[in-house]
């Protein structure tokens, strides 16, 4: 074919030199920490071992301790509830927003897309701080508005002191921050659906819901599944919002797996149990990851 | 369907749709609007039981307070330093790798790209504990270069994926022509392909910039004792404990922190809505 490619004869060392720094980075900064986490999860590793070294291997004891602890199972259950609520809300809302955006006139569409991009751009810590202010018990606009509407019980209501309310705010924040990416991606999938398909479906007498179910959704399904699996994986990124807002509290109301792992390790100095919890989290995630990669490679075709 | 539709009829028919659009825009913009206006409101209006949607009076006091807070300049400098060095390092390393993948054939190419895709999905939330311990063992705790390395690794996979796409999009014939004219392979790439790559480099580095600029977790757990090495997100998260209930100053700090990311995102809007969505970028 072309000389640029012909020159790269098999056996040349140049490509390996070019990828060497990237490979070294992945080995030292990703694989090694992961291996170290596995190692620590098999050891008796507390503050003493952190300072002196010389940790003893204890086999699967840490995993047995975790799996026998009802608190851990409660955290797992909460993580799945949190994930389900967030992902369903994000997917439903972003599909609706995408469908709406597609039907808007040009000017309105630009305004909606720009607003979505703006939300996407707000840094996580800034957004979290703003939501703390919106839901502030005394001067927060949410309580003022609810009180003004006649819900007197919300006067001075301390949102972050009640487990259910704090959990709800974290969900609302995550959904508010996640919808833009999902909606914009789904919208860019929607515009690739040929208009003729809609017309012929309508001529066959199909209603709006039927058109969506039989024409639109099957065509955007690959992208929909891709976004869905990304949102599931990104649930664990809620660590930041939760840590800044509630530290997993009040009580344990917002403690999901990554929060639990870090609290156990860094606050309780049980690095071994924390690592075991992290490894279990990674195992849980990897199932979804496999789904994601299958979808991604089907989507990207032979680009790999 | 046969009778001619009046304009009024059309407006009424589109009313629910447009109402939904207005609602979407309001829900999107209100928190941002509230952050910015709170930052400009006098404290007496912020701590009022009768909040106004449009500020009655404007003041820059809160911005003064945020900027003159202890260490603000230092944290700003730290953030810029860590972010820029991580992005430049990632760009340099990714450029080589992306070129090798897009332009050369070698054994292990598929495996390498697979590793990059997996690395892009790395469970960073679950690696805090081992990275904390490794940094502690190697004396890298409380040091900015540690953060640079972590941010480099967070942004590297995405940068490789996107740059590979950009390089593959440049016809190899252009470089070949330059090579025929006597350029070396590296010279041909630098003189011919590199200028064409500029938009791609720009877009990827800005997204890397935003990722590193916003990163909170590692900045929070790897910088513990050395308060002078903190970065802006950590500073902002502790702003309340520094300033108590001064929400005006807190919102001013949040606005100042969000501003660079907002400007970059809006400038890049075209790229955002196009290809990057499929790359799985979390803003």
| CATH code of the domain covering residue A231 | 1.10.3720.10
pLDDT of residue B4: 55
**Does the pTM exceed 0.80?**
yes
Asked if A21 has any chain B CB less than 8 Å from its own CB, the reply is yes
- Contact check, Cβ <8 Å, B129/A275: yes
- The per-residue pLDDT for range A103-112, each reduced to its tens digit, is 998 889 989 9
- Nearest chain A residue to B23 by CA distance is A112
- Cβ-based contacts of B49 with chain A (< 8 Å): 139, 144
Contact status, residue A88 vs residue A141, Cβ threshold 8 Å:
no
Range of the domain at A139: 3-28+35-303
CA angle (B4 as vertex; B2, B8 as ends), nearest 5:
130
**A contacts of B132 (beta carbons < 8 Å):** 265-266
Check if A34 contacts B (Cβ < 8 Å): yes
CB interface of A with B, residues 211-230, below 8 Å = 223, 226, 230
A113 to chain B: which residues are within 8 Å by CB? 269, 273
SS3 at position B60: coil
Say if the Cβ atoms of B129 and A130 lie within 8 Å.
no
pLDDT attached to residue B5:
62
Identify which has the larger pLDDT, A150 or B4.
A150
Mean pLDDT across chain A, nearest whole number?
89
Residue of B nearest to A120 (CA): B283
Q: Where are the domains of chain B?
A: 7-59, 71-279
CA dist A239 and A301 (Å) reads 33
Q: Cα–Cα distance between A254 and A167 in angstroms, integer?
A: 6
**A78: CB partners within 8 A, 6+ apart:** A252, A255, A256
Cβ contact A204:A162 at 8 Å: no
Query: B242 versus A283: which is more confidently predicted?
Result: A283
- What is the reported pLDDT for B83? 94
Q: Which two tokens stand for residue A6?
A: 């012909």
Mean pLDDT value of segment A127-155 = 89
pLDDT value of position B181: 87
Nearest CA in chain A to B214: A123
Model confidence over A161-185: pLDDT tens digits? 999 999 999 999 999 999 999 999 9
Contact (CB, 8 A) for B156 and B90: yes
CA–CA gap between residue A67 and residue A73 (Å, rounded): 7
Calculate helix-pair angle for A106-121, B247-267, nearest 10 degrees. 120
Only one residue has tokens 């920490």, namely: A33
The C-alpha R_g of chain A, in whole angstroms, comes to 24
Choice among A52-66, A81-95, A246-260, B190-204 with the minimum mean pLDDT: B190-204
How close are the terminal C-alpha atoms of chain A, in Å? 20
Helix, strand or coil, per DSSP, at residue B128:
helix
- Alpha carbon B26 to its chain centroid, in Å, reads 24
Contact A6, B184 (CB under 8 A): no
**Tell me, what's the pLDDT at A234?**
87
Q: Tens place of pLDDT for every residue, chain B, 283 residues?
A: 445 567 788 778 888 899 999 999 999 999 999 999 999 998 888 887 777 788 888 889 899 988 888 788 899 999 999 999 999 999 999 999 999 999 898 999 999 999 999 999 899 999 999 999 999 999 999 999 999 999 999 999 999 998 998 888 888 888 888 888 888 888 888 888 888 888 778 878 888 888 899 999 999 999 988 888 899 999 998 877 766 678 899 999 999 999 988 888 777 766 655 544 444 444 3
Please answer whether residues B248 and B62 qualify as being in contact, where contact means their C-beta atoms are separated by less than 8 angstroms: yes
Indicate if the pLDDT at residue A237 is higher than 90: no
Contacting residues for B179 by C-beta, under 8 A, at least 6 apart: A3, A4, B185, B188
Of B93, B175, B217, the CB nearest to A239: B217
Is the distance from CB of A146 to CB of A234 less than 8 angstroms?
no
Asked if A104 lies within 8 A of B18 by C-beta distance, the reply is yes
Number of H helices, E strands in chain B: 16, 0
A16, A133, A177 ranked by CB distance to B38: nearest: A133
Residue A20 predicted with pLDDT over 60: yes
Of B103, B125, B127, the CB nearest to A34: B127
Look up tokens 């660079």; give the residue: B260
Cα–Cα distance between B249 and B240 in angstroms, integer?
9
Burial of A290 (0-12, 13-18, 19+ CB in 10 A): exposed
B25 to A115: CB separation less than 8 angstroms, yes or no: yes
- Helical packing angle, A106-121 and A70-103, nearest 10°: 150
Q: At residue A155, does pLDDT exceed 90?
A: no
Domain count, chain A: 1
Judged on CB neighbours under 10 Å (0-12, 13-18, 19+), B68 is exposed
* B103 closest CB neighbour out of A5, A25, A281: A5
Of the residues A126, A175, A282, the best mutation for testing chain B's interface (the one with the most B CB atoms within 10 Å of its CB) is: A126
pLDDT tens per residue, range A189-227: 898 888 888 888 888 888 888 888 888 899 889 889 989
- At residue A264 the predicted structure's pLDDT band, cuts being 50, 70 and 90, is very high
Query: Does the distance separating the beta carbons of A184 and B24 come in below 8 Å?
Result: no
Whether pLDDT at A128 is above 50 = yes
Please give the residue of chain B at the shortest CA–CA distance from A11.
Answer: B106
Would you say B62 and B39 are in contact if contact means Cβ atoms under 8 Å apart?
A: yes
Give residues with Cβ within 8 angstroms of A57, minimum separation 6: A42, A43, A44
Q: Structure tokens of A187?
A: 């919208």
Mutate: best of B24, B36, B184, partner A, most A CBs <10 A: B24
What fold does the segment set B71-279 form as a domain? MetI-like fold (1.10.3720)
* φ/ψ of residue A57, rounded to 5: -80, 135
């Amino acid at each position: 074919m072309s000389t640029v490619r012909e020159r790269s004869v098999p056996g040349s060392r140049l490509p390996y030199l070019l990828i060497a720094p990237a490979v070294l980075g992945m080995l030292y900064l990703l694989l090694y920490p992961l291996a170290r986490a596995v190692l620590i999860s098999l050891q008796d590793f507390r503050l003493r071992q952190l300072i002196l070294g010389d940790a003893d291997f204890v086999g699967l004891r840490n995993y047995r301790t975790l799996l026998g602890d009802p608190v851990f199972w409660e955290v797992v259950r909460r993580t799945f509830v949190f994930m389900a609520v967030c992902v369903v809300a994000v997917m439903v809302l972003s599909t609706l927003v995408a469908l709406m955006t597609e039907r808007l006139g040009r000017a309105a569409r630009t305004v909606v897309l720009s607003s979505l991009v703006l939300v996407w751009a707000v840094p996580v810590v800034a957004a979290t701080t703003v939501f703390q202010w919106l839901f502030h018990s005394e001067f927060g606009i949410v309580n003022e508005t609810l009180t003004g509407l006649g819900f007197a019980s919300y006067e001075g209501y301390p949102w972050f002191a009640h487990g259910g309310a704090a959990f709800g705010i974290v969900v609302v924040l995550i959904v508010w921050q996640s919808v833009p990416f999902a909606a914009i991606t789904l919208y860019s999938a929607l515009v690739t659906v040929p208009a003729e398909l809609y017309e012929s479906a309508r001529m066959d007498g199909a209603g709006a819901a039927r058109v969506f179910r039989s024409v639109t959704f099957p065509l955007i399904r690959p992208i929909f599944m891709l976004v869905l699996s990304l949102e599931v994986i990104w649930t664990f990124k809620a660590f930041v919002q939760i840590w800044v807002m509630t530290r997993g509290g009040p009580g344990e109301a917002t403690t999901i797996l990554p929060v639990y792992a870090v609290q156990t390790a860094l606050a309780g100095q049980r690095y071994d149990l924390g690592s075991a919890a992290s490894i279990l989290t990674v195992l849980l995630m990897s199932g979804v990851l496999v789904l994601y990669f299958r979808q991604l490679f089907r989507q990207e075709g032979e680009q790999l | 369907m046969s009778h001619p539709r009046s304009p009024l009829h059309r407006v009424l028919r589109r009313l629910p749709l447009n109402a939904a659009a207005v609602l979407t825009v309001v829900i999107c913009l209100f928190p941002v609007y509230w952050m910015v206006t709170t930052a400009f409101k006098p404290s007496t209006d912020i701590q009022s039981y009768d909040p106004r949607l449009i500020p009655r009076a404007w003041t820059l006091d809160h911005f003064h307070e945020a900027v003159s807070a202890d260490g603000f300049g230092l944290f700003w400098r730290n953030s810029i330093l860590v972010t820029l060095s991580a992005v430049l390092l990632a760009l340099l390393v990714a450029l080589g790798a992306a070129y090798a993948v897009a332009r050369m054939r070698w054994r292990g190419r598929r495996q390498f790209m697979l590793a990059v895709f997996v690395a892009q999905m790395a469970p960073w939330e679950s690696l805090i504990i081992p990275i904390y311990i490794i940094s502690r063992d190697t004396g890298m705790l409380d040091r900015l270069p540690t953060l640079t390395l972590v941010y480099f690794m967070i942004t590297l996979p995405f940068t490789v994926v996107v740059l590979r796409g950009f390089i593959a999009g440049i016809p190899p014939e252009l470089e070949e022509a330059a090579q025929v004219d006597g350029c070396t392979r590296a010279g041909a790439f630098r003189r011919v392909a590199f200028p064409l790559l500029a938009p791609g480099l720009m877009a990827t580095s800005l997204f890397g910039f935003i990722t590193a600029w916003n990163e909170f977790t590692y900045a929070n757990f790897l910088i513990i004792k050395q308060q002078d090495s903190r970065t802006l997100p950590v500073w902002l998260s502790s702003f309340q404990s520094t300033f108590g209930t001064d929400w005006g100053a807190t919102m001013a700090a949040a606005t100042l922190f969000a501003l660079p990311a907002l400007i970059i995102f809006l400038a890049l809007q075209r790229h955002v809505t196009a290809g990057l969505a499929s790359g799985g970028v979390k803003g």
